[in-house]
Amino acid sequence: MAGRRSAGGARRAALPARLSPQLATLSKTLPEGGDWLYEIKFDGYRILARIDRGKVRLVTRGGHDWTSKMAPLARALCGLGVRSAWLDGEIVVLDESGVPHFNALQNAFDSARTNGIRYFLFDVPYLDGYDLRALPLRERRARLEELLESNASEEVRFSAALSGDARSILRSACELKLEGILAKRADAPYVSARTTTWLKLKCAQQQEFVIGGYTDRSGSSSEVGSLLLGVYRADGQLVFAGAVGTGWNAKTGAELKTRLGELEVSRSPFAADGPVQSGRWSRGSRGAKHWVKPQLVAQVSFTEWTSDGSIRHASFQGLRADKPAKAVVRETPRPDPPSPRGRRRARSDPHGIAS
């Protein structure tokens, strides 16, 4: 078995009780120099699987145990035949075209029908008595691929590296309506932190936002008209980041209204120096604004940030249950690498990635 091989950097160690995932840094530019691997950026939930003597635990990036919600997947992982492991990957539901669909994943949990969930594994920090985190990514992935080839299943799959040059890979991903790609240094260790050895490059801007309020839909008080969104800043205040009023149907709009109605409060949760309180925010002002406890997290796509810190042309993708509201901040791309003297200024392509 792959985990039994010995190699420089792999060391015998007890199975860690807990493990925090390595996180990628948002980037607007493709990496230059070095040895990089590219993978699909899946539109799903990040899950770590802990296996100890045949017992499987499925843990979210926030440390919550979701094993009971995904019993079919836990059984499939038992079939891998490993004694002990930490496996890292993303759970998704695929549409008819084989493309991950976030709303379908959310619906699977809402209906308690999780048979269709697929788990794409891309890393193995620990396997059968060996801590592999110090190994280069390429070696960890080779062990993971070997493990999955020997124990193939419909539910548990390997996230294969994409072949080709980075720009072509990203363009193809965007044309296929995928969320984007991940660039990972093939020679880097596994680190339980946000690092620049893992970069995420998105086809469109998308991130999580905290719902701090809503307006009623015009002509239907049983549905939401728009969601008022925010992100937390360094001082712990929830700052207004705009609104989203599209991306759901009547059924979802009514469900959102019911859930938000249970959280309604009399005072705004947004920072007092934001545009909601100052009167600079106009969208939705024709309808009453309802404030809610800032507990629900929405996944939202949008075209850009305005100069005053609001998002434009937003579309609701679904609610996220895998990330606590307090952890939601504005994602900031890493600074562009300095250009060598004499290089032409970077050109932008249709997907907003500098060349």
Of 151, 154, 124, the closest CA to residue 48 belongs to 124
Mean predicted confidence (pLDDT) in 112-131: 94
Residue-level pLDDT at 308:
86
Q: Which of 28, 41, 184, 251 is catalytic?
A: 41
Residue-level pLDDT at 269:
95
Are both 18-203 and 206-327 of the same fold? no
Based on the residue annotation, tell me whether 41 is a catalytic residue of this protein.
Answer: yes
Residue-level pLDDT at 300:
95
The proportion of the chain whose per-residue pLDDT surpasses 70, expressed as a percent, equals 88
Residue 8: pLDDT above 70?
Answer: no
Mean predicted confidence (pLDDT) in 88-97: 92
Residue-level pLDDT at 287:
55
In the block, residue with structure tokens 């296929």: 176
Of 13, 271, 279, the closest CA to residue 130 belongs to 13
pLDDT by residue (tens digit) across 209-220? 999 999 998 877
Looking at per-residue confidence, does 242 or 112 come out higher?
242
Mean predicted confidence (pLDDT) in 258-265: 96
Chain-centroid distance of CA 81 in Å reads 28
Give the burial string for 13-32 (b: 16+ CB within 10 Å, else e): eebeeebebbebbbbbbbbe
Q: Which of 10-19, 68-77, 86-95, 304-313 has the lowest mean pLDDT?
A: 304-313
Cβ neighbourhood burial of 83 (10 Å; 0-12, 13-18, 19+)? middle
**Domain regions of the chain by residue span:** 18-203, 206-327
Model's pTM, two decimal places?
Answer: 0.76
Which pLDDT band, with edges at 50, 70 and 90, does 37 fall under?
Answer: very high
Domain 18-203, CATH:
3.30.470.30
**What fold, for 206-327?**
OB fold (Dihydrolipoamide Acetyltransferase, E2P) (2.40.50)
Residue-level pLDDT at 274:
64
- Record the tokens describing residue 198, joined without a space: 């893992």
Q: Which of 2-6, 232-236, 333-337 has the lowest mean pLDDT?
A: 2-6
Of 45, 43, 67, the closest CA to residue 56 belongs to 67
Which residues pair with residue 184 across a beta bridge?
37, 198
Mean predicted confidence (pLDDT) in 317-339: 83
Region at 285 (left for phi over 0; alpha for psi -120 to 50; beta for the rest): alpha
Residue 279: pLDDT above 60?
Answer: no
Which residues pair with residue 36 across a beta bridge?
185
Distances (CA, A) of 7 to 31, 61, 87, 138, 139: 28, 28, 19, 13, 9
Residue 345: pLDDT above 60?
Answer: no
Looking at per-residue confidence, does 128 or 280 come out higher?
128
Which pLDDT band, with edges at 50, 70 and 90, does 324 fall under?
Answer: very high
pLDDT by residue (tens digit) across 192-207? 999 999 999 988 888 9
Residue-level pLDDT at 143:
96
CA–CA gap between residue 62 and residue 56 (Å, rounded): 17
